[in-house]
Amino acid sequence: MIPAHVAIIMDGNGRWGKKRLITRNAGHKAGAQNLRVLTEEAEKIGIKFLTVFAFSTENWTRPKDEVDGLMRLIPEYIQQYIDENNKNNMRFSVIGDLTRLDSNLCEKINNLETMTKNKTGLHLIVALNYGGRDDIVRAAKKAAYMIKKGDIEPEQIDASFFCGLLDTARFPDPDMLIRTGNESRISNFFLWQSAYTEIYFSEKLFPDFNVRDLRDAVAFFSGRDRRYGGVKE
């Protein structure tokens, strides 16, 4: 059984750089290069949606040079996909609160989303300035404004309705969440969406998490018995 939607917390890039006596930003660049390899493999395996946690709402508190480096790297990464658009069948989307991002970056994001909207291959979703709590709070605000305007009644809000207000409304919940970097937490990522997600922790730092490791994670998922709170006889 292949998971339709895989999410990855790409942890360990900075530590990977420090271990090699180079900069943390060099580690982030290595992680971005590794992601390109993994997206190709994910499509070969048959994964339909791949969401990557690229920058969280809490990452702004990191040292300025690291944040600045990431804000330079992300547009470069997106530009590469724009330049290679005709070579692949991959669709691209971004989730998160984009209001804090540079206008040029937002323009690149919009361009790539528009260029790839009819692609039918792997759908790569980049979580940028994203936080699970922030996602839920923004959705709650949307619901509150709808009630205030008289568009809905409070009784109309249920789990299905609320899902439609989240950043991920267009996508299925992740079947599997992979966390690299030898950490065993989800760090404010997909708090709502991961209610019944299978979680796979890897000791490897993300730049070292290779094609074989991705296949091992998929094999782990295939062996899981997913009951969604029920009991199988």
Active site residues: 11, 59
DSSP one-letter code for 205: -
> What is the token pair recorded at 208?
């070292």
* 75, 108 contact by CB (below 8 A): yes
User: Of the candidates 1, 8, 5, which has an alpha carbon nearest to the alpha carbon of residue 202?
Assistant: 8
H helical segments located in 46-131: 64-83, 103-115
What order of strands is seen across the sheet that includes strand 176-179?
91-95, 123-130, 49-56, 5-9, 176-179, 198-201
> What is the token pair recorded at 160?
């299905």
In a 3-state reduction of DSSP, which class is residue 104?
helix
